[in-house]
Amino acid sequence: MLNIVIIKSMDLNKMKAWQLLKLLRKKEVSSYEITDAVFKRIEERKFINAYISIFKEYALKGAREIDEKYNKGEIQNNHFIAGIPIAIKDNICFKGYPTTCGSRMLEKFIPPYDATVIKKVNFHGGVIIGKTNMDEFAMGSSTETSHFGPTLNPHNPDYIPGGSSGGSAAAVADFQAVLALGSDTGGSIRQPAALCGVVGLKPTYGLVSRYGLVAFASSLDQIGTFARDVKDTALLLNVIAGYDSKDSTSVNIEIPNYLQEIEKGIKNFKVGVPKEYFVEGIDKEVREKVENLIKKLEKEGAIIEETSLPHTEYAIADYYIIAPSEASSNLARYDGVKYGYRSNTPSSDKNLIEMYFNTRCEGFGAEVKRRILIGTYSLSSGYYDAYYLKALKVRTLIKQDFDEAFKKYDCLITPTSPTPAFRLGEKLDDPLKMYLSDIFTISANLAGIPGISIPVGKSSNNLPIGAQLLAAHFQEKKLLQIAYIAEKLVEKEI
């Protein structure tokens, strides 16, 4: 009896998913109690602006249904997150509930179908609590371009949480969700995870279905996870990984249980340290924290060697041709005709071209317009070969650098972001400075490899710092294994 009282007096929303699952299976807590604790936290911390939509009635009803299944013995071990509250980035379609992409253009859009990852979350008993804030159409590195206002960093509200999945990162970091899904096109999971002090995983391109993810740049976009530790990350990857015939880029491979061998150890693992990621200009404290982790990994038995990824210097330029080009094509569908925002100005009623023009001018924010213009220019007649085609060739060279590195190394280690979080508004008027925030994460998207960011400490002004681990295609099991050990080595410093 005393044990139950102690558990109920704890902040359930602050516990890890794997801890909560143990209590749920023993019937020492209920999913309803956990979910209610999360909603109380959301209400207390509204000013963080982590959410665009909250589904309280739906979630509490779902939590009660899960509790009934636990009581009847209907929850099996393969229901990986049964009863756990989970937040969803607002560019992942959820049937019957708003999917805005943080944009005026889709402010009133209600999807008529579920994304594949939503179906998987529901199958595994996850309790969807709301849709998180994001940079408009996932275009940004700070969650400041959202039509619904910026998300704030839970560690210091004067600072940004990173982006574009800043709402999901902030929700998990601030105990407003136990788990969350986001999307990563150029670092949009790993960078906010680093800046908010949580674990963020971008899986291999093709491991997780993109069906139902609103497209930004189709050859780069990937749905991934946010959690407060690596164990929870493995748990959530078990839920969302797998082949989907509805996604033509989905790869049909055998999916292991990512949680099973996570504690195996890393003795004789070969870890490469790319010299291009430790260049002049990186924040001194970021460098120190990542180098500290590298030393600890070496003491743990890993073999550490410096290596080179020579085409890294072209990654930013390459990305900002390929991604806007694909965005220009993908966002052409928002024309005011089929769905989404439509301009009601007098000229729009009289002239079709005016209606297109006004709809897109009024419906899209400045950053989205900027990227559409860059992409349209890169794809235009006379410039396609000089820009887009050349960018694709450079992308191949970047991928080949990683292929060569992974013939020798089990993983690579780098900083996730060159600096800790910056102040709100600091880079909003300088797009080039903002784009450099993703300098260490973009290459993984261009190459299609998996990457994870783990917290490795805090700066002198108490802002989180993250380290990034990268592995070869579909080597998430190995990546999580080394990330788990790395997490344990720096636990006291976080």
Contacts of 35 by beta carbon, 8 Å cutoff, 6+ apart: 59, 60, 63, 85, 127, 129
Q: Which pLDDT band, with edges at 50, 70 and 90, does 345 fall under?
A: confident
pLDDT band for position 10 (50/70/90)?
low
Residue 446 · residue 322 · CB < 8 Å: yes
Q: Are 244 and 213 in contact (CB under 8 A)?
A: no
When pLDDT is averaged across residues 360-375 and rounded to a whole number, the result is 97
pLDDT tens figures, 219-276: 999 999 999 999 999 999 999 999 999 999 999 999 999 999 898 889 899 999 999 9
Residues pairing with 131 in the sheet: 53, 88
Token couple for 449: 């490899």
The residues, ordered by sequence, that sit 6+ positions from 24 with a Cβ below 8 Å of its Cβ are 30, 31, 34, 70, 75, 82, 83
- Give residue-wise pLDDT tens across range 52-100: 999 999 999 999 999 999 999 999 888 999 999 999 999 999 999 999 9
Which tens digits make up the pLDDT trace of 150-194? 999 999 999 999 999 999 999 999 999 999 999 999 999 999 999
Does position 442 have pLDDT exceeding 90, yes or no? Answer: yes
> Tokens in use for 361?
């001018």
Burial of 219 (0-12, 13-18, 19+ CB in 10 A): middle
List, for residues 378-392, the tens digit of each pLDDT value.
999 889 999 999 999
User: 60: how many CB neighbours lie within 10 A of its CB?
Assistant: 17
For 38, half-sphere exposure in the C-beta direction (CA atoms, 13 angstrom radius) is 36
Do 359 and 131 contact (CB within 8 A), yes or no? no
Q: What is the DSSP string of 148-206?
A: T----BTTBTTB---SSSHHHHHHHHTTS-SEEEEEESSSTTHHHHHHHTSEEEEPPTT
**What's the farthest any 2 CA atoms get from each other in the chain?**
76
Helix (H) or strand (E) holding 227: strand 222-227
78/394: higher pLDDT = 394
Say whether pLDDT at 8 is over 80: no
* Overall average pLDDT of the 195-219 stretch: 98
CA-closest candidate to residue 468, choices 449, 452, 483: 452
What's the gap between Cα 120 and its chain centre?
17
Q: Between β-strands 303-307 and 270-274, what pairing exists: parallel, antiparallel or unpaired? A: parallel
Q: Annotated catalytic residue: which of 30, 31, 89, 141?
A: 89
User: Check: CATH 3.50.50.60 for 10-240?
Assistant: no
User: Does the annotation count 188 as an active-site position?
Assistant: yes
Query: Of 142, 164, 183, 348, which is the active-site residue?
Result: 164
In this structure, which amino acid lies at residue 388? Answer: Y
Distance CA(257)–CA(249), nearest Å, equals 22
Active-site pick, 183, 188, 325, 453: 188
